């Protein structure tokens, strides 16, 4: 089986954190490990996550977006 035949989990950086974690619940521990602790709290994830994209979250928390993208790619996500 080639890599291209596997279904790809795509992360669209224009979608909200809430939308992404609803589509891919396995993102929650990955993002938590990247320092976004609030993502593990359902209330915070719902309220702030609905109006925040990953690039916005990185900017607000002083995180390196490229490092977050690298962590996502390591877990098999394609980042758009």
Domain ranges across the chain: 16-79
3-class DSSP state of 60? helix
Q: What are phi and psi of 16, to 5 degrees?
A: -70, 160
Alpha helix segments (H runs only) across 1-80: 17-23, 27-33, 42-47, 54-61, 65-74
- For the chain, 80 residues long, give each residue's pLDDT as a single digit of tens: 344 445 589 999 999 999 999 999 999 999 999 999 999 999 999 999 999 999 999 999 999 999 999 999 999 999 99
- How many other CB atoms sit within 10 Å of the CB of residue 45? 21
pLDDT of the residue at 8: 82
Tokens representing residue 32 in the block? 């938590």
pTM here is 0.87
HSE-up (13 A, CA, CB side) for residue 30: 20
Q: At the topology level of CATH, where does 16-79 sit?
A: SP0561-like (1.10.3910)
């Amino acid at each position: 089986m080639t890599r291209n035949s596997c279904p790809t989990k795509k992360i669209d950086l224009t979608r909200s954190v809430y939308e992404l974690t609803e589509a891919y619940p396995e993102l929650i521990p990955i993002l938590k490990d990247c320092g976004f602790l609030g993502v593990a709290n359902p209330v915070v994830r719902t309220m702030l996550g609905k109006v925040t994209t990953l690039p916005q979250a990185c900017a607000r928390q002083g995180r390196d977006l490229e490092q977050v993208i690298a962590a996502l790619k390591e877990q098999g996500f394609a980042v758009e």
